[in-house]
């Protein structure tokens, strides 16, 4: 599964809008929409923020694993 589908699924599973997540990322809604469509690359800073927000690993968002394990606690 591609990261664009993963971030969309994570957002929809929490009943959030693209605007909600754009606000978390401190970016414009249309930029976030482009991440989900794959027409704009997802910056590493936003990937990190999404991992923390959804409490999942980057490997999960990037599609390297299908295990949505929570991030390790510090």
For the record, the structure tokens of 27 come out as: 């970016």
Q: Tens digits of per-residue pLDDT, 13-71?
A: 999 999 999 999 999 999 999 999 999 999 999 999 999 999 999 999 999 999 998 88
pTM above 0.85? yes
Largest CA distance in the chain: 35
How does DSSP classify residue 1? Answer: -
Q: Where are the domains of the chain?
A: 3-59
**3-state SS string over 5-69?**
HHHHHHHHHCCCCHHHHHHHHCCCHHHHHHHHHCCCCCCHHHHHHHHHHHCCCHHHHHCCCCCCC
Instruction: Just give the CATH number of 3-59.
Output: 1.10.260.40
């Amino acid at each position: 599964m591609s990261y664009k589908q993963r971030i969309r699924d994570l957002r929809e599973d929490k009943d959030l809008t693209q605007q909600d997540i754009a606000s978390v990322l401190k970016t414009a809604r249309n930029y976030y929409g482009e991440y989900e469509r794959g027409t704009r690359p997802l910056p590493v800073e936003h990937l990190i923020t999404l991992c923390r927000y959804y409490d999942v690993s980057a490997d999960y968002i990037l599609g390297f694993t299908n295990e949505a394990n929570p991030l390790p606690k510090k």
